[in-house]
Amino acid sequence: MKFQGSRGSYTKTEVLGAGSFGNVYAARSDASGLPVVVAVKVSKEPRLESGRSAVVEALRDEVTQLRQLEGSGNTPRVLDEGEREGHPFFVMERLPGSLRSDLEKMEMGVRLAALAALCDRVAELHELGRVHRDLKPSNVLVDAEQTPPRVLLCDFSTARLLRQTKQSTMSRVGTEDFLPPEAALRVTGDSLGPAWDVYGCGLCAR
């Protein structure tokens, strides 16, 4: 499977994951000036000629958020965008591992450093006025070969500005096994904000 973006083409090498809004693939890039190994996220629904697709809108919103956060050191860089058979996609930086695949393999000192870096990334995200709302091990990218480990947050399809969360009633977003207890209730205000992500950080350390 190939993806043609504005800066080059990308060949799928493996499936990394699938969510409510899109599928994520590892790919090799032939684009000049870009990393050879990248990740490609593809919308599960095609772009509509008329009307709006909530899935496509979520992917576009994710790209916008990632571009706004570029330079923060918290998220993978968006490298390219395109469309394949009507399905929008974007290409992003990929780290070699994640907490889901690598945490149990790490030596204790490296593991603690990675979890501390996760807490730092989340705190910085909150300082930038955003809440992730879907923190789980597969959404925490890690390069454990670096010292300290490099950690990035990915999958911003359900992320929101803090001011948006305080104005709305909680909706059931995120992944069932990683939802905070208040997600089962109809609550408003600060329960929608940083506390959601703090709970997710704790579950990532299990």
pLDDT at 52: 79
Residues 150 and 192 in one domain: yes
Question: How far is it, in rounded angstroms, from Cα 141 to Cα 138?
Answer: 7
Residues 196 and 102 in one domain: yes
pLDDT at 189: 47
**Angle, helices 194-204/108-127, rounded to nearest 10 degrees:** 170
Residues 82 and 150 in one domain: no
Radius of gyration for the chain, computed over Cα atoms and rounded to the nearest angstrom: 17
Residues 113 and 74 in one domain: no
Tokens of 123: 């705190």
Look up the pTM and report it.
0.88
Residues 43 and 141 in one domain: no
Residues 113 and 193 in one domain: yes
Residues 101 and 64 in one domain: no
| Domain of residue 26, residue span | 2-93
The SS3 call for residue 61 is helix
Residues 34 and 116 in one domain: no
pLDDT at 104: 93
Domain CATH code at residue 55: 3.30.200.20
Identify the domain boundary among 93, 112, 143.
93
Counting the structural domains of the chain, the total is 2
Identify the domain boundary among 93, 124, 139.
93
Domain CATH code at residue 172: 1.10.510.10
pLDDT at 170: 45
pLDDT at 75: 97
pLDDT at 169: 46
Among 77, 115, 138, CA closest to 205 = 115
Low-confidence ranges of the chain (pLDDT < 70): 50-51, 164-173, 184-192
Residues 6 and 78 in one domain: yes
Q: Any idea which residue has 């490298």 for tokens?
A: 79
pLDDT at 172: 52
| Segment 78-113, tens digit of pLDDT | 999 999 999 999 999 999 999 999 999 999 999 999
Identify the domain boundary among 93, 113, 139.
93
Neighbours of 49 (CB within 10 A): 6
Residues 103 and 196 in one domain: yes
pLDDT at 82: 97
Residues 149 and 173 in one domain: yes
Residues 71 and 141 in one domain: no
